[in-house]
């Protein structure tokens, strides 16, 4: 029972580098989300997807891009990383019948 899997778990980047975070879910959920968690700020929504091939902006989308080419995968990209993007990133998928979110274990990203 994998649920929601995020890779990588940890990454250190230099300013200006690019990277992609991968989120995979095996529950056939339509809705998927990317949040970032910063101290004292709770979870803030970056982008979300309501189904394969669709994405939408959340509360803090600047500096990020996403893609949902396959239903089970939701990718979060940083084209030119900045120190302000140092954070813990959580992916989640939603069970439509209950609204419950299933979260990945988080990806800790440090941008130097």
Partner 1 sequence: AQKVTQAQTEISVVEKEDVTLDCVYETRDTTYYLFWYKQPPSGELVFLIRRNSFDEQNEISGRYSWNFQKSTSSFNFTITASQVVDSAVYFCALSEATSGGSYIPTFGRGTSLIVHP
Stretch that binds partner 1, among 17-25, 33-41, 61-69, 75-83 (CB under 8 A): 33-41
Under rule CB under 8 A, residue 58 binds partner 1: yes
Of the candidates 19, 22, 43, 71, which one interacts with partner 1 according to CB under 8 A?
A: 43
Q: Which residues contact 62 (CB under 8 A, 6 or more apart)?
A: none
Largest CA distance in the chain: 42
Under rule CB under 8 A, residue 41 binds partner 1: yes
**3-state percent helix, strand, coil for the chain, nearest multiple of 5:** 5, 55, 40
Of the candidates 23, 24, 25, 35, which one interacts with partner 1 according to CB under 8 A?
A: 35
């Amino acid at each position: 029972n994998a649920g929601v899997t995020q890779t990588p778990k940890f990454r250190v980047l230099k300013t200006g580098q690019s990277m992609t975070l991968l989120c995979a879910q095996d529950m056939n959920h339509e809705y998927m989300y990317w949040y970032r968690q910063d101290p004292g700020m709770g979870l803030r929504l970056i982008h979300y997807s309501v189904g394969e091939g669709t994405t939408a902006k959340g509360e803090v989308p600047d500096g990020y891009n996403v893609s949902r080419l396959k239903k089970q995968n939701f990718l979060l990209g940083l084209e030119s990383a900045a120190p302000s993007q140092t954070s813990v990133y959580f992916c989640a998928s939603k069970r439509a019948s209950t609204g419950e979110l299933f979260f990945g274990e988080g990806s800790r990203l440090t941008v130097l």
